[in-house]
Amino acid sequence: MRLSLATEPAYADRPNKGFVGATPDAIVLLDGAGAPADPETGCSHGVAWYSHTLGSTLLAGVTQSADSLTAILAAGIEATASMHDFCCDLSHPGSPSATVVMLRRTANVLDWLVLADSVLVFDVLDAEPVVICDERETLTGNRYREPMNAVIRGSPEHLQALSRPCAHTATSTGDSGSPQSTPSPQNRR
């Protein structure tokens, strides 16, 4: 398999929140997300730490386990959470999270998983590209984007508006409040 990998931080003076890693039969890509710089985000490690730790855990999982990608993702999120749940407040809506794309080849079968707003595109020979998206993030975000755009970016009102979709996600997962602990990705074969 021929690979070209590239990631770039959104801002030159901030850590790169992206992660991409690959083996001959698997690719894992994450885009870290979380509330903007705020001493009260609940996690002292930061978004880059979260996405890099989860990404490397998922790459190891997808290489070593024959479990479904959904199960590997759930185990990876749980393992990463356990590395800091004793010192960080993972129930905080600004606690780090990440989009996830996983692709695995087993013999002649491809498995893939797309969670949140990262996109997987298959360039199919002699056909239109096949684009795999998880549209739930957009559908949820649309409900909250207008109030966020109506206030000054970085202001207390903006941070308050920004925390609403995070809080909604934490509630809708139905777990103990962490938006990181209950993935519900698309998984197709």
User: Residues touching Zn ion: how many (CB under 5 A)?
Assistant: 4
User: Pattern of binders to Zn ion over 31-60, x per CB under 5 A?
Assistant: ------------x-x---------------
Contact 102, 23 (CB under 8 A): no
The angle subtended at Cα 71 by Cα 32 and Cα 62, nearest 5°, is 70
Minimal distance, residue 46 CB to Zn ion, in Å: 8
> Nearer Cβ to Zn ion, position 96 or 185?
96
> Nearer Cβ to Zn ion, position 89 or 117?
89
Q: How far apart are CA 69 and CA 55, in angstroms?
A: 13
3-state secondary structure of 28: strand
Minimal distance, residue 45 CB to Zn ion, in Å: 4
> Nearer Cβ to Zn ion, position 29 or 88?
88
The closest alpha carbon to 42, from 80, 82, 95, belongs to: 95
The closest alpha carbon to 180, from 87, 61, 89, 102, belongs to: 89
Q: How far apart are CA 118 and CA 7, in angstroms?
A: 13
Minimal distance, residue 29 CB to Zn ion, in Å: 22
Q: Which stretch binds Zn ion (CB under 5 A): 2-10, 24-32, 56-64, 78-86?
A: 78-86
Minimal distance, residue 35 CB to Zn ion, in Å: 13
Sign of the C-alpha dihedral, residues 54, 37, 159, 154?
negative
The closest alpha carbon to 4, from 16, 22, 30, 17, belongs to: 22
> Nearer Cβ to Zn ion, position 18 or 34?
34
User: Pattern of binders to Zn ion over 81-120, x per CB under 5 A?
Assistant: ---x---x--------------------------------
Minimal distance, residue 112 CB to Zn ion, in Å: 29
The angle subtended at Cα 173 by Cα 79 and Cα 19, nearest 5°, is 45
Chain residues in the site for Zn ion (CB under 5 A): 43, 45, 84, 88
